Amino acid sequence: MNMLKTLCAGVVLAALGYGGYATLTRRADPPEPAGAGDWGNAPQVEMPTVASSEPPAVSLPDAAAADAPAPHYLAPSTTTPPSAVDPATDALASAARAAIDPSAAAPAAESSAATTMPIATLTAEGIEPAAPEAPDVHTEFMTAWNDAQGLLARHELAEALLRLSEWSTDTRLSPADRTQLFDLLDQLAGTVVYSREHLLSPAYVVQPGDSLERIADRFGVTWQLLGKINGIAEGQPIRAGDSLKVLQGPFDALVTLNDCELTLFIHGRYAGRFRVGIGQDQSTPEAELVVQNKVTNPTYYGPNQVIGPEDPNNPLGGRWIDLGNKLGIHGTSDPSSIGKAESRGCIRMGQQDIVEVYDILSIGSRVTIVR
């Protein structure tokens, strides 16, 4: 029962943390938030249940012992019910008998898939079991999923996020598995990264003479992000002795051109994803780049015209993240181009999304662009 209570506590924390992260992952372009304090006011959500194609979560019995296994999600079985005799053991025994007395070999079963699979190989040294078949992608994913459920049951949310993050870029996953994965990843990122829970780094105690900008520089993140996470509005002072949530940055970004997505990571942990627009005719290069500069309200210098920052027709929107060689991540005056290959090579984001990513990526953040 204690294990069940622990799991429930993890669920509540994930639900509370999702409020901060929900703002980061909106697909629409609503008006900018009124203030940093609004991040914590999103409605609570529940941890996702297993997809409808999966069996239900296993529940603990009423008289559960303290060492009983925690509830977890199980991958559907792809094997037939076990018989009284283990097929592999029986096949190995038959092979051994055949090696000694060929007439003792058992006749092959008709239309049996098991008999077509190499179960054992007879060599000069004896009988060697055949190497097992490689598990399919869904089985591998469900192994990681079950591992993460065990970590959640022990309230190891940061480790659960790390365990599942490696699957966030795996293009082999089925749509159902991807939906299940990102439902949980988004909530875990909301709690681990963007809530005020100190799950990645110890709390930082403000020292005399500190400012939010100095603290952010020390940890390799932006002061805007620290302000949002800690509910500190722009210009609001901090006081010595205050306790702040900090993150050891920098964040990195992966742009997947084929999916028109930008995914954020912090030291290997998933931290959100966004839809983007990319260059037409494959003009956005595959590259390993670094954020070199950031500009708010940039002026557009085009081949035929210059458009000021206040002009609604400015194709850069309100933010420019400079990746060098005239390539950057920016907003757009044409929201319909998001998810399409219509730019001249740069990476476009929606109005609200570029504000969020601008406040997360810092100078020195790595941006990897792949197909």
Phi, psi of 142 (to 5 degrees): -65, -30
Q: How many CB atoms lie within 10 A of CB 219?
A: 17
HSE-up of residue 235 (Cα within 13 Å, Cβ side): 1
CA angle 167/169/172 to nearest 5° reads 75
* DSSP per position, 211-252: -HHHHHHHHTS-HHHHHHHHT--TT----TT-EE-------E
Q: CA-to-CA distance for 214 and 209, rounded, in angstroms?
A: 9
Q: CA-to-CA distance for 174 and 172, rounded, in angstroms?
A: 7
Instruction: Clarify whether 260 is annotated catalytic.
Output: no
Instruction: Clarify whether 330 is annotated catalytic.
Output: yes
Q: Select which of 8, 155, 267, 330 is catalytic.
A: 330
In this structure, are residues 296 and 318 in contact, taking their beta carbons and an 8 Å threshold? yes
* DSSP per position, 99-111: HH-GGGPPPPPTT
* Cα dihedral sign, 319-38-334-286: positive
- Is residue 259 helix, strand or coil? helix
* DSSP per position, 267-290: TTEEEEEEEEEEEGGG-SPPEEEE
Q: Map tokens 């190497």 to a residue.
A: 131
Residue from 37, 42, 50, 45 nearest 13 by CA: 45
252-256 and 366-370 beta bridge pairing: parallel
In this structure, are residues 357 and 275 in contact, taking their beta carbons and an 8 Å threshold? no
> Measured between alpha carbons, how far apart are the two ends of the chain, in Å?
48
* Cα dihedral sign, 105-109-110-115: negative
Q: Select which of 72, 155, 260, 346 is catalytic.
A: 346
Active site residues: 330, 346
